[in-house]
Copies of this chain bind each other. A is one copy, B any other.
Amino acid sequence: MNKIEQHLKHHKLRITQVRLDILRYFQNHKTALSHADLEQHFSKHFDRVTIYRTLTSFLENGLIHKIPDDSGIAKYALCRHDSIAHSTVDEHVHFKCKNCGKIECLHALEIPKLHLPKKYKPESANLLIEGTCALCNA
Protein backbone atom coordinates (compact mmCIF):
# COMPACT_ATOMS: atom_id res chain seq x y z
CA MET A 1 0.00 0.00 0.00
CA ASN A 2 1.74 3.14 -1.23
CA LYS A 3 1.38 6.78 -0.25
CA ILE A 4 -1.40 7.57 -2.69
CA GLU A 5 -3.42 4.51 -1.77
CA GLN A 6 -3.09 5.45 1.88
CA HIS A 7 -4.29 8.94 1.08
CA LEU A 8 -7.51 7.51 -0.39
CA LYS A 9 -7.91 5.01 2.44
CA HIS A 10 -7.48 7.76 4.96
CA HIS A 11 -10.41 9.62 3.45
CA LYS A 12 -12.58 6.49 3.34
CA LEU A 13 -12.50 6.23 -0.42
CA ARG A 14 -12.18 2.94 -2.26
CA ILE A 15 -8.99 2.51 -4.18
CA THR A 16 -9.69 2.58 -7.89
CA GLN A 17 -7.54 3.33 -10.90
CA VAL A 18 -9.20 6.61 -11.82
CA ARG A 19 -8.80 7.89 -8.27
CA LEU A 20 -5.18 6.88 -8.05
CA ASP A 21 -4.38 8.47 -11.38
CA ILE A 22 -6.24 11.71 -10.79
CA LEU A 23 -4.92 12.09 -7.26
CA ARG A 24 -1.37 11.63 -8.51
CA TYR A 25 -2.04 14.11 -11.29
CA PHE A 26 -3.11 16.72 -8.73
CA GLN A 27 0.01 16.02 -6.71
CA ASN A 28 2.20 16.66 -9.73
CA HIS A 29 0.58 20.00 -10.58
CA LYS A 30 1.02 23.08 -8.46
CA THR A 31 -1.79 24.97 -10.21
CA ALA A 32 -5.52 24.38 -9.92
CA LEU A 33 -7.20 22.00 -12.38
CA SER A 34 -10.58 22.05 -14.07
CA HIS A 35 -12.62 19.09 -15.24
CA ALA A 36 -11.62 20.01 -18.78
CA ASP A 37 -7.94 19.81 -17.83
CA LEU A 38 -8.44 16.32 -16.48
CA GLU A 39 -10.61 15.23 -19.37
CA GLN A 40 -7.94 16.37 -21.74
CA HIS A 41 -5.43 14.15 -20.02
CA PHE A 42 -7.54 11.16 -19.09
CA SER A 43 -10.31 10.83 -21.66
CA LYS A 44 -8.50 7.95 -23.30
CA HIS A 45 -8.69 5.99 -20.08
CA PHE A 46 -11.82 7.11 -18.23
CA ASP A 47 -15.27 8.38 -19.06
CA ARG A 48 -15.88 12.09 -18.57
CA VAL A 49 -18.73 11.37 -16.15
CA THR A 50 -16.40 9.23 -14.09
CA ILE A 51 -14.01 12.17 -13.94
CA TYR A 52 -16.83 14.42 -12.73
CA ARG A 53 -17.76 11.88 -10.09
CA THR A 54 -14.16 11.50 -9.02
CA LEU A 55 -13.92 15.24 -8.48
CA THR A 56 -17.15 15.21 -6.53
CA SER A 57 -15.99 12.38 -4.29
CA PHE A 58 -12.66 14.10 -3.67
CA LEU A 59 -14.47 17.32 -2.86
CA GLU A 60 -16.98 15.73 -0.51
CA ASN A 61 -14.26 13.84 1.29
CA GLY A 62 -11.91 16.74 1.75
CA LEU A 63 -9.10 15.78 -0.61
CA ILE A 64 -9.55 18.82 -2.80
CA HIS A 65 -11.15 22.24 -2.56
CA LYS A 66 -13.04 24.27 -5.14
CA ILE A 67 -11.72 27.67 -6.11
CA PRO A 68 -14.34 30.17 -7.31
CA ASP A 69 -13.41 32.72 -9.94
CA ASP A 70 -15.35 34.94 -12.29
CA SER A 71 -15.04 32.48 -15.17
CA GLY A 72 -17.72 30.21 -13.80
CA ILE A 73 -15.60 27.17 -14.62
CA ALA A 74 -14.89 25.10 -11.53
CA LYS A 75 -11.23 24.69 -10.61
CA TYR A 76 -9.84 22.45 -7.92
CA ALA A 77 -6.66 22.00 -5.95
CA LEU A 78 -5.42 19.59 -3.32
CA CYS A 79 -6.08 20.27 0.31
CA ARG A 80 -2.95 20.14 2.39
CA HIS A 81 -3.74 18.35 5.55
CA ASP A 82 -1.28 15.65 4.71
CA SER A 83 -0.94 15.53 8.44
CA ILE A 84 -2.56 12.69 10.34
CA ALA A 85 -5.62 14.48 11.64
CA HIS A 86 -8.45 15.03 9.21
CA SER A 87 -8.95 18.59 10.32
CA THR A 88 -7.56 22.11 10.31
CA VAL A 89 -9.54 23.65 7.50
CA ASP A 90 -6.73 25.43 5.77
CA GLU A 91 -8.07 28.74 4.54
CA HIS A 92 -5.59 30.44 2.30
CA VAL A 93 -5.40 33.02 -0.46
CA HIS A 94 -5.64 32.12 -4.15
CA PHE A 95 -3.90 33.89 -6.98
CA LYS A 96 -5.08 33.96 -10.58
CA CYS A 97 -2.71 35.17 -13.28
CA LYS A 98 -4.32 37.39 -15.90
CA ASN A 99 -1.57 36.45 -18.31
CA CYS A 100 -1.25 32.66 -18.18
CA GLY A 101 -4.64 32.06 -16.59
CA LYS A 102 -3.31 29.71 -13.95
CA ILE A 103 -4.64 29.65 -10.42
CA GLU A 104 -2.33 28.89 -7.51
CA CYS A 105 -2.87 28.26 -3.82
CA LEU A 106 -0.85 30.62 -1.66
CA HIS A 107 -0.82 28.36 1.34
CA ALA A 108 1.46 30.70 3.23
CA LEU A 109 -1.07 33.53 3.13
CA GLU A 110 -3.96 33.41 5.53
CA ILE A 111 -7.16 35.30 4.87
CA PRO A 112 -7.34 38.16 7.37
CA LYS A 113 -10.32 38.16 9.71
CA LEU A 114 -12.55 41.18 9.24
CA HIS A 115 -14.94 42.90 11.56
CA LEU A 116 -18.39 42.37 10.06
CA PRO A 117 -21.52 44.44 10.69
CA LYS A 118 -23.68 43.46 13.64
CA LYS A 119 -25.37 40.05 13.55
CA TYR A 120 -23.38 38.75 10.60
CA LYS A 121 -21.80 35.40 11.50
CA PRO A 122 -18.88 34.47 9.27
CA GLU A 123 -18.02 30.81 8.79
CA SER A 124 -15.61 30.70 5.88
CA ALA A 125 -13.97 33.00 3.39
CA ASN A 126 -12.55 32.98 -0.10
CA LEU A 127 -10.02 35.50 -1.29
CA LEU A 128 -8.90 35.51 -4.90
CA ILE A 129 -6.25 37.98 -5.97
CA GLU A 130 -5.79 38.59 -9.68
CA GLY A 131 -2.70 39.97 -11.35
CA THR A 132 0.40 38.58 -12.97
CA CYS A 133 2.24 35.65 -11.49
CA ALA A 134 5.90 35.21 -10.68
CA LEU A 135 6.60 33.20 -13.82
CA CYS A 136 4.90 35.67 -16.12
CA ASN A 137 6.80 38.54 -14.50
CA ALA A 138 10.19 36.86 -14.87
Contacts and interface: CB of A to CB of B under 8 A. Distances in A.
B132 A114 contact: no
Q: What range describes how many residues of A lie at the interface?
A: 35 or more
A134 B117 contact: yes
A87 to B, nearest CB: 19
A68 to B, nearest CB: 5
A127 B124 CA distance: 11
Interface in A85-138: 93, 95, 98, 106, 108-109, 111-112, 114, 116-134, 137-138
Contact of A134 (B69, B118, B137, B138): B118
21 contacts: A66-B70, A68-B68, A68-B72, A106-B117, A108-B117, A109-B114, A114-B129, A116-B129, A119-B137, A120-B132, A120-B134, A120-B137, A122-B129, A123-B131, A123-B132, A124-B131, A125-B129, A126-B127, A126-B128, A126-B130, A127-B127
